[in-house]
Amino acid sequence: MTSQSRGDGLDWPKLFATRAERMKASEIRELLKLLDQPDVISFAGGIPDPALFPAQAFSDALAQSLTGDQAGQALQYSVSEGYLPLRQWIAARMGSLGVKCTADNIVITTGSQQALDFLGKLFLSPGDTALVGWPTYLGALQAFNAYEPRYDRLNPMGNRLPADFKAQAEAAGGRVKFAYLSGDFANPTGETVTREARERVLDLAEALDIPVIEDAAYQSLRYEGEEVPPILALDLMRHGGDIEKTRTLYCGSFSKTLAPGLRVGWVCGATPVIGKLVLTKQAADLHSSTLNQMAIHKVASADFAGQVARIKQAYQSRRDTMLKALDAHMPDGVSWTHPDGGMFVWITLPEKFDGADLLAECLKSERVAFVPGKAFFADGSGANTIRLSFSRMAEKDIAEGIARLGRVVKRKAG
């Protein structure tokens, strides 16, 4: 079991097996052992730095939630839509992002991963088409795959006509059911979707009469540049500020701001869809942990802005270190993204490279790890891409790790 799930949401044996020439099981086992070595510098995972968790604030909030009258509520069954004061706090937060709404527009989920699972369950039948980026968040593909969709490429600035998406979906025996994208510092690329591109996605969604699933997991972690309004906010502007007329389902999370271990996320959208998600939630697991929702509410109410500021300061500096090291150590022919926020830098290597192959080489000869990019592509392309995360590491390790990676890339390129 442990090889399937290392707490980073990645199926490592499968990642290795994406290598052009499939690796033998014995070779994969050896590589998995190397991944666990303490001298490996790992840019894999996509995991917050635990040193930045507000542990004391959570400890106090939990103790308070288990004192007096609140204890019975904190430990008891609760409503499927989630803890009302938390939904109210989230509604106010959404308001500050340009999304005027009430608690009735919010359903609490077990992290935003569960939101993706529920939306897949709600919208997809086998053979239906989901529009996703090439690449896109691997966990979204994993969630949607359970409902056996076909994928088509969402490329906001491309020129394909809505009728073409529709015709291809129908030829494949289904219909286009939604467009999924992450707008801010997306996993895996770190890139941000421009306002113009967001409007284009809404145009396409309107033409196809489909919902937009906006994955906003990293939205709060901007280190530079100007905020781009959430797609849901742009959708509201098209409808006189009436959320009931919108088609965008905003999936938020406290995993990257407060802590992932409590598993609290949400969906914000028009009440008919939220109502269906509440019934889906009831059938799927009744509700998310009451206690955790109460603790998240207390910690967020007390100092959300301060906590986010502390994280941003640390991660921004790590991003800068990584970008500087890439400049210093990567040979010509290698390019990478310059994210304005989030946790990831995405590297495109010369065509002849295979990410899984490179990872094997890097682990063996230089003790450095990352995620091969191919798994993030629904069409199986992207073999020459890799994902690096800078969120969890000391800056000296980032600099050293990129130097090691650069040595292997230079050797293989030369």
| Interaction site with a copy of itself (CB under 8 A) | 1-2, 4-9, 11, 47-48, 50-51, 53, 55-56, 58-59, 62-63, 66-67, 71-81, 104, 109-111, 113-114, 117, 121, 139, 142-143, 145-146, 255, 259-263, 271, 274-275, 278-280, 282-292
Q: Which is nearer to a copy of itself, 62 or 405 (CB)?
A: 62
Q: Which is nearer to a copy of itself, 71 or 157 (CB)?
A: 71
Q: Which is nearer to a copy of itself, 2 or 96 (CB)?
A: 2
Q: Which is nearer to a copy of itself, 284 or 413 (CB)?
A: 284
DSSP per residue, 272-324:
HHHHHHHHHHHHHHSSS-HHHHHHHHHHHHHHHHHHHHHHHHHHHHHHHHHHH
What distance in Å separates the CA atoms of residue 58 and residue 61, rounded to the nearest whole number? 5
Q: Give me the least distance between CB of 149 and a copy of itself, in Å please.
A: 13
Q: Give me the least distance between CB of 87 and a copy of itself, in Å please.
A: 9
Q: Which is nearer to a copy of itself, 157 or 394 (CB)?
A: 394
CA 372 to chain centre: 16
What number of residues does the chain have?
A: 414
Q: Which is nearer to a copy of itself, 192 or 253 (CB)?
A: 253
What distance in Å separates the CA atoms of residue 381 and residue 153, rounded to the nearest whole number? 12
What distance in Å separates the CA atoms of residue 16 and residue 193, rounded to the nearest whole number? 30
Q: Give me the least distance between CB of 127 and a copy of itself, in Å please.
A: 12
Phi/psi at 78 (nearest 5 deg)? -140, 180
> Is-cis flag, bond preceding 372, omega within 30?
no
Q: Give me the least distance between CB of 182 and a copy of itself, in Å please.
A: 16
Q: Which residues contact 177 (CB under 8 A, 6 or more apart)?
A: 123, 124, 128, 129, 130, 149, 210, 211
What distance in Å separates the CA atoms of residue 258 and residue 59, rounded to the nearest whole number? 13
Q: Alpha-carbon dihedral of residues 396, 15, 254, 271, nearest 10 degrees?
A: 150
Best CA proximity match to 109, nearest among 244, 9, 252, 211: 252
Q: Which is nearer to a copy of itself, 192 or 246 (CB)?
A: 246
